[in-house]
Structure 1
Amino acid sequence: MMIYSIRLKIAHFYERPAANSRHLIRVLPRTLPGRQSLTTHLLEIDPEPESRTKAMDFFGNTTHSCAHRDQHAEMSIKLSCHVEVYTPPPWQDKSSDVAYLRSTCDALTDLGSTSPLHFLGPSPRLPRNNAIQGFAHDLYAANASAVENVVRIGKALHEAMTFDATATTVDTDAADAFRLRRGVCQDFSHIMILALRSLGVPVGYVSGYLRTLPPSGGVKLEGADAMHAWVRAWCGPEQGWIEYDPTNATLVGTDHVVAGYGRDYSDVSPVRGHLRSSGGQKNTQAVDVAIAG
């Protein structure tokens, strides 16, 4: 078991004072039985909002909504928490081939929040794309298991793309990032989701935190980490959901901490909202994930 200390700061700076703002915040790590447990946390919002509400969305993610009526030149969100992450059981591929997976999905009727049916078709940020579909079908192996196809496509995407924090923004379409062959974890994840859905594999988006290690002999910088994203794919009733990080070409292990599950980024964005202002704004984010103690 690993115990992580996570600190996050998201700051919004307004060119001219803003007012009448409402924000929905999704940054709190989830408690997932057998996977991870949120033990302590403190979420601070500055300035103190006039109203603040904690709730749970359809996919089981914790949300905090807040409202500021008075004018303010900046707003910050700070999270401090500890999360226990448990060692996963030995890995086994128990999945069938993708053709059988598709027939299994056709027979599903459950529409609960964990149903694979929510993760098969287009979602708000992810309409179908022919180029990404072609990429997936060129890699698809009919005689391989669903897990093998997920890993194959994730590795190929990692090799085809270059991580570049300057190439895209949070609003960039997956199709544009794929055309550029550059982007960040959000882009890698969106492209992989589109690729696998085009094959009939249910796939969702995961937001969370990743422990990053410094180079050999280097010193870990405070706030050098950022919120991370990866994918989760349903590989049949025997296998269930598996998680894969295409940015780092790896199955997810104890270095990943889940904050939210959704169909794409729009379901789990750290902060969404609206406000009244006549100027622009600047946003910053800093995250530090370290072993507690």
Structure 2
Amino acid sequence: MAVMKRLDFIYCMTITYSEPVSNCHYTLKCVPADMDRQRIESLKIEVMPENYRSRGQDSFGNQMVYGTIEKAHDVFSCRVCGTAVTGCADSNRQRKGELPGMYLNLRGLTAAGKELESYCGELAKKLAGRTDGTPYGQAVKLMQCLYEDFRYEKNCTNVTTTSEDAWRLKRGVCQDYAHILISLCRMNRIPARYAAGFMLGEGESHAWVEVLWEGKWYGLDPTNNQLVNEDYIYVGIGRDAADCALNRGIVVGGGQQCQQVAVAVKEI
């Protein structure tokens, strides 16, 4: 039986421009939504400067907030806060019409090269006969091996780093852990997808992996070498991090920009 928690969350993002910008077109995907594993009890969204904005969903079911700010401004910010009930289930059901094949392709940020393919081959020999024979059990073993062979380190990768590039470095952050595990799963014909969100005890956004088994998506967190539980709040899912970017935008002008993000999650 799943253990449920009520979690208050706050996501704050501020972009400061060295010169004023105008005609800012933005898309935000930093809004948690109801799903099998969680229920959103309350939600408040603030975007500054104030403007007309719309809500929608992308093809993966992620919540989007988008709009245009025509007037000149040198600071753009958004604040999303609310309460989520988590641990409502131990998995997320496969959506109607959702094709597993899209989560098997080694593409984009999960594209694997020779070094990652070689590592995958080494793990196949190492784990032979050591899993329970299910795709889920195999994915858990892959996560455990990756945790032992990869090191967490900030500022050595960026949002464009592929799983192959991160594996060459043997170090990176949660996005890199997730991309590498996704690549390893897909090379073993296990449908795997990227998940982004918030985690109790973390002061920033987090990323993990879901694998598909018998019509359900199960969460694995390779950065912490653990199964996803009631401490996690889902914000986005997709093929890789590019599908789950928490904010994107196009502006006119602006010069240099500085972005600051803060996340707070506490149990109530």
TM score, norm. by length of structure 1: 0.83
TM-aligned CA deviation for residue 291 of structure 1: 0.8
Opposite residue 116 of structure 1, the aligned amino acid is P
- In structure 1, the partner of 2:67 is 66
TM-aligned CA deviation for residue 142 of structure 1: 5.1
Opposite residue 4 of structure 1, the aligned amino acid is L
- In structure 2, the partner of 1:211 is 200
- In 1, Cα distance between the equivalents of 2:27 and 2:175? 19
- In structure 2, the partner of 1:248 is 224
TM-aligned CA deviation for residue 241 of structure 1: 1.8
Larger strand percent: 2
TM-aligned CA deviation for residue 122 of structure 1: 2.8
- In 2, Cα distance between the equivalents of 1:150 and 1:111? 21
- In structure 1, the partner of 2:119 is 135
- In 2, Cα distance between the equivalents of 1:253 and 1:111? 20
* CA shift in 2, pair 1:249/1:115, >3 Å: same
Q: Partner of 1:48: helix, strand, or coil?
A: coil
After the TM superposition, which of the residue ranges 118-127 and 152-161 deviates more from structure 2?
Answer: 118-127
Q: 1:232 aligns with which of 203, 210, 216?
A: 210
Are positions 1:75 and 2:76 aligned together?
yes
After the TM superposition, which of the residue ranges 160-169 and 23-32 deviates more from structure 2?
Answer: 160-169
TM alignment of 1:74-223, pairs within 5 A? 74-86=75-87, 88=89, 114-140=98-124, 141=127, 143=129, 144=131, 145=133, 146-212=135-201
For the 8 Å contact 2:38–2:89, the answer to whether it is kept is no
- In 1, Cα distance between the equivalents of 2:86 and 2:50? 32
- In 2, Cα distance between the equivalents of 1:277 and 1:14? 9
- In structure 2, the partner of 1:277 is 253
TM-aligned CA deviation for residue 231 of structure 1: 0.3
TM score, norm. by length of structure 2: 0.90
- In 2, Cα distance between the equivalents of 1:55 and 1:163? 35
* CA shift in 2, pair 1:225/1:282, >3 Å: same
Opposite residue 247 of structure 2, the aligned amino acid is V
* CA shift in 2, pair 1:113/1:178, >3 Å: farther
* CA shift in 2, pair 1:120/1:233, >3 Å: same
TM-aligned CA deviation for residue 113 of structure 1: 5.3
* CA shift in 2, pair 1:242/1:65, >3 Å: same
Q: Partner of 2:141: helix, strand, or coil?
A: helix
- Alignment gaps of 5+ in structure 2: none
For the 8 Å contact 1:137–1:199, the answer to whether it is kept is no
Moved over 4 A (4+): 110-113
- Alignment gaps of 5+ in structure 1: 92-109, 213-223
After the TM superposition, which of the residue ranges 163-172 and 142-151 deviates more from structure 2?
Answer: 142-151
Identity fraction in percent: 26
- In structure 2, the partner of 1:221 is none
Q: Partner of 2:109: helix, strand, or coil?
A: coil
TM-aligned CA deviation for residue 148 of structure 1: 2.1
* CA shift in 2, pair 1:283/1:84, >3 Å: same
- In structure 1, the partner of 2:265 is 289
- In structure 2, the partner of 1:6 is 9
TM-aligned CA deviation for residue 87 of structure 1: 5.4
TM-aligned CA deviation for residue 111 of structure 1: 9.9
For the 8 Å contact 1:9–1:286, the answer to whether it is kept is yes
> 1:61-104 CA distances to partner (integer Å, 9 max, x unpaired)?
11111111111111011011100113546x9xxxxxxxxxxxxx
Opposite residue 234 of structure 1, the aligned amino acid is L
- In 2, Cα distance between the equivalents of 1:26 and 1:265? 12
Aligned residues: 258
TM-aligned CA deviation for residue 174 of structure 1: 2.3
Are positions 1:23 and 2:23 aligned together?
no
